[in-house]
Amino acid sequence: MSKHQWFKDLRGIISEGILLIDEPLNKYTMTKLGGAADVLAIPGTIEETEAIVRYAYENEIPLLLLGNGSNMVVRDGGVRGIVLHLSKLDAIRVDGNRIHAEAGALIIDVSKRATEESLTGLEFACGIPGSIGGAMAMNAGAYGGEIKDIIYQCTVLTKSGERLVLSKDELELGYRKSIIVSEGYYVLSADFELVEGDQEAILAKVADLTFQRESKQPLEFPSAGSVFKRPPGYFAGKLIQDCGLQGKGCGGAEVSMKHAGFIINKNGATASDYIATINMVKSEVKKQFDVDLELEVKIVGEE
């Protein structure tokens, strides 16, 4: 089947969402990079999401979950198949000391809601620029906290569209990994279990973490956030800094002068520029320190 047939079929599935053909993905990524998706589906409900996943599975069509585009680099050739974007699934509900958040909700917004409700435990996420779905998949963390510390359960879809509710232990959360990634599940929602706290103390902690983030990270430029995982016994940013790579790059992409762990789209970079800069950094760190840097970001799409 052609992408035009997929588009026609999906129009019969999606009534509350949005469906686009040959849609440039640089509109949806934090790096502002990436070619077009054959078909971009933005479902309006969980039921539409399930129907899209089943349609792709039954017709053997490649399906990519884009999330908030904060931890992903889309190549210039774009993505073949269907790209699923869950930005409309963004409901957040509070029940006692638990917060229920749909996959497309931004984790920053969930952290804000926790603060409003005087619930402590999500302060670490006050500056993480990702969706709940991405945060669950990668066990997102910062400033000594991570998702596995506060998760109660997570609802996912299998590749065939079956709905599962996974407990904290069943999620197999580790450093930037989970069963969501290893099994290729699609997150629908997550339930977090927090603790009642003092709102002034929570606000003070959020303010401190926000200051640390804004003073140390190059938020003024598009980027994919921290590009590399922390190597055992090292810090990726320190290794890159010690290699003298800050300010260096390929084309319009550059290793940030503010934080060496970030690669920024400084001046109209292409995805090829960005990926070439990643490879340059990996090569130089290997050469100088004999350390293999592992990507935290995901690279997808066609050359």
Whole-number CA gyration radius for the chain? 19
Q: In the CATH hierarchy, which fold is given to the domain comprising 92-201?
A: 3.30.465
Q: Which residues pair with 264 in a beta bridge?
A: 223, 254
Q: What pLDDT is stored for residue 233 in this prediction?
A: 92
Is 226 designated active site? yes
Give the whole-angstrom CA distance, residue 92 versus residue 243. Answer: 44
Q: End-to-end distance of the chain based on CA atoms, in angstroms?
A: 22
Q: Please report which helix (H) or strand (E) contains residue 164, including its range.
A: strand 163-167
List, in order, residues 6 or more apart from 125 with CB less than 8 Å away: 107, 108, 110, 111, 135, 140, 142, 145
Phi then psi for residue 257, to 5 deg, are -75, -25
Q: Quick check: 125 and 107 in contact, CB under 8 A?
A: yes
Query: Residues 176, 230: contact at Cβ < 8 Å?
Result: no
Confidence of residue 39 (pLDDT cuts 50, 70, 90): very high
**Structure token pair of residue 95:** 């029940």
Question: How confident is the model at residue 143, as a pLDDT?
Answer: 84
pLDDT of residue 231: 92
Candidate list 176, 178, 189, 254, residue with the active-site label: 176
- Report pLDDT digits (tens) over 246-303: 999 999 999 999 999 999 999 999 999 999 999 999 999 999 999 999 999 999 999 8
Amino acid at 144: G
User: Both tokens of residue 192?
Assistant: 């977090």
Of 23, 123, 254, 296, the catalytic one is: 296
Maximum distance among all Cα pairs of the chain, rounded to whole angstroms? 57
Concerning whether 102 is annotated as a catalytic residue, the answer is no
Do 40 and 85 form a contact (C-beta atoms < 8 A)?
yes
Quote the tokens at residue 79.
């993505």
CA gap 41, 21 in Å, rounded = 9
Q: Which of 178, 226, 256, 284 is catalytic?
A: 226
Per domain, the residue ranges of the chain are 3-84, 92-201, 218-300
**Rounded CA gap, 270 and 291, in Å?**
27
Sheet holding 63-65, edge to edge: 18-24, 36-42, 79-84, 63-65
User: If you average pLDDT over residues 39-55, what whole number do you get?
Assistant: 96
- What is the C-alpha separation between 166 and 164, in angstroms, rounded? 6
- Measured from the Cβ of residue 127, the count of other Cβ atoms closer than 10 Å reads 19
Task: Say how far apart CA 213 and CA 210 lie, in whole Å.
Answer: 5
**Residue 85 binned pLDDT confidence (cut-offs 50, 70, 90):** very high
Write out the two tokens for 190.
Answer: 């997550």
Domain 218-300: which topology? 3.90.78
**Do residues 94 and 116 make contact, with C-beta atoms less than 8 angstroms apart?**
no
The share of the chain scoring above pLDDT 90, in percent, equals: 86
- 256 labelled catalytic: no
CATH of 3-84, one of 3.30.43.10, 2.70.70.10, 3.90.226.30, 3.60.110.10: 3.30.43.10
User: Does residue 176 have a pLDDT over 90?
Assistant: no
